[in-house]
Structure 1
Amino acid sequence: MLRVGGARLLDDRDRWGVRSILEADPVAACMVAARVEVAGLDPWRLGGELWAVGARLDGLCFSGANLVPLRGGRSALRCFADRARRHGRTCSSVVGRAELVLPMWEQLAEHWAPAREVRADQPLMVLAGPPAVPPDPWVRQVRMDELDRYLPAAVAMFTEEVGVDPRAGDGGAGYRARVAELVAAGRAFARFEDGQVVFKAEIGALSAKVGQIQGVWVHPARRGEGLGTIGTAALVEPLARMGRIASLYVNAFNHPARAAYAKVGFTQIASFATILF
């Protein structure tokens, strides 16, 4: 085990200890748990590293495309920030429980380039069981031969939500590949009308216990019709059939989305925070 700045790099020998921690907080840890369940802790297969502080894994943090603190007090978060600072920023965001992300960001802010945006309050919501409203019968899984029709809606959602065009830098090849993965896995859903996407969403992470819904989007010309509510319900239903808890997180200022999710039956259990670069 490599020790740098008080934090150590974990490997597959630590897999069961890590899994027990992830299982204790299944909703907040869904993004990382989904990876660990499939890939273990080997960084190459995992697509990132898991760092720990303390012999009993008193602190735990994932470092990959996103930096995700999962557990730890202020001293552990300081150790993770030290290690992240030494490595240099390679992540596009710091995301997770607000009570972990915000203190960690305090340690990183003066050393990393200014954040493009700090979203300090993002309700983390869950729904165990079927939706409280009938799902949209026209929302279905997207087929691979529909990728080119689905992709413009995915780009529009990402640009609107994150504030940058996901095609920047490589002409969209990387983003197209990520969307294609979700489509191929049967985790991208849409309502098509005359060949155009009017609603879309994805199950972005799927662990043994939780499915995290992401990328909920309604075509601007169709907003206010309730498509977001019944469309989201159409993703909750298959998750309920699989025995998974449905989860998502939303910006606190997005009152229409929060109202729609409440109608579906979601309730808040915690708050996330995201630091965007």
Structure 2
Amino acid sequence: MLTVPVRQLGESERRAVERLLDRDPFAGAQVAERVAARGLAWWRADGRILGYGARRQLESICWVGGNLTPVLADPSAVAAYADLLAGEERFCSSIVGRADAVLQLWDRLCGHWGPARDVRPNQPLLAVDALPSVPVDQQVRQVRAGEVDALFPAAVAMYTEEVGASPLAEDGGRGYRRRVTELVRTGRAYARFVDGRVVFKAELAVVTRRTAQVQGVWVDPAWRGRGIATAAMAAVVRDALLRVAPTVSLYVNDFNLPARRVYRRCGFRPVGTLATVLF
């Protein structure tokens, strides 16, 4: 029997949650952004936060929403979360977080929620806090509001290639287009255009006071192998560090060696390993 129960956290424990998230600013960035934007009150959030540990000594949290994200979850916390979640229907589209916690959690939940569409057990988590030493592509810039139509096909191509499923499948892409439009509106979308066509793109998908997390990095297949990615990525890192956050972070599949070389040239260093379970 578990001696430390899992409980749903509310706004009264927000400071404890924020202190815990500060201990893992890169792996917990997505959760930190949601807490900063909407707090912990269930009627304002699009998910719930479970806590493990005594009220005055919170040890771990787990975001339960469109994604399931354990943060600072040791084996005891993982077991507690799994015991609770195993009795619930799965609503999340993925489980993502530090690899040890995610893989242990999935091992306990796979019999209840399986099968997964894909399991990616080794995704290096990288971060940089210094301006790139490599040349910057001056043609990479923030996407403007009137350029969403040009950006959207590239975003769909990136998502389909990365996730293995089209974002247009469920609702014709309306939800995904809203997301892309919001990234453009908030100055988080970058691209290089050639004759009105996107040949490179990336977004600051998550922004907290500790880090700007890059996702959606993509080069048009016709432009791959020409050596544009390093300078283009350096432009994104430079702008994000000067304008948005004190660090830039991202995670990448271990088998994507070309991307890992690009990030290394831009100054990224390893800060951990994530894993993702996709449904």
3-state SS of paired residue (1:86)? coil
Q: Distance in 2 between matches of 1:30 and 1:97?
A: 12
Q: Distance in 2 between matches of 1:117 and 1:47?
A: 25
3-state SS of paired residue (1:158)? helix
Aligned residue pairs, count: 273
- Which residue does the alignment assign to 1:206? 207
Q: Any idea what the Cα deviations from partners look like across 1:215-265, whole Å, max 9, x if unmatched?
A: 000000000122221111111112221442000000000000001111111
- Which residue does the alignment assign to 2:47? 48
- Which residue does the alignment assign to 1:60? 61
3-state SS of paired residue (1:145)? helix
Q: Which moved more, 1:108-117 or 1:84-93?
A: 84-93
Could you tell me how far 1:45 is from its partner in structure 2?
Answer: 2.6
| TM-score of the two chains, using structure 2 as the length reference | 0.95
Q: Which runs of 5+ in 1 are unaligned?
A: none
Q: Which moved more, 1:139-148 or 1:225-234?
A: 225-234
How much identity, in percent, do the aligned residues show?
Answer: 48
| TM-score of the two chains, using structure 1 as the length reference | 0.96
3-state SS of paired residue (2:69)? strand
Asked if 1:82 is matched to 2:83, the reply is yes
Distance change (3 Å), C-alpha of 1:102 and 1:42:
same
- Which residue does the alignment assign to 2:94? 93
Q: Distance in 1 between matches of 2:230 and 2:43?
A: 38
- Which residue does the alignment assign to 1:190? 191
Q: Which moved more, 1:155-164 or 1:233-242?
A: 233-242
Could you tell me how far 1:47 is from its partner in structure 2?
Answer: 1.8
- Which residue does the alignment assign to 2:20? 21
- Which residue does the alignment assign to 2:257? 255
1:59·1:77 contact (CA, 8 Å) conserved in 2?
A: no
Could you tell me how far 1:127 is from its partner in structure 2?
Answer: 0.5
Q: Any idea what the Cα deviations from partners look like across 1:137-157, whole Å, max 9, x if unmatched?
A: 111111111111100000000
2:20·2:59 contact (CA, 8 Å) conserved in 1?
A: no
Asked if 1:269 is matched to 2:268, the reply is no
- Which residue does the alignment assign to 1:236? 237
Please tell me the residue identity of whatever aligns with 1:272. Answer: L
Q: Distance in 2 between matches of 1:73 and 1:240?
A: 32
Could you tell me how far 1:165 is from its partner in structure 2?
Answer: 0.3
Could you tell me how far 1:84 is from its partner in structure 2?
Answer: 2.1
Moved over 3 A (4+): none
2:130·2:267 contact (CA, 8 Å) conserved in 1?
A: no
- Which residue does the alignment assign to 1:37? 36
Q: Distance in 1 between matches of 2:42 and 2:156?
A: 29
Q: Superposition RMSD on alpha carbons, in Å?
A: 1.2
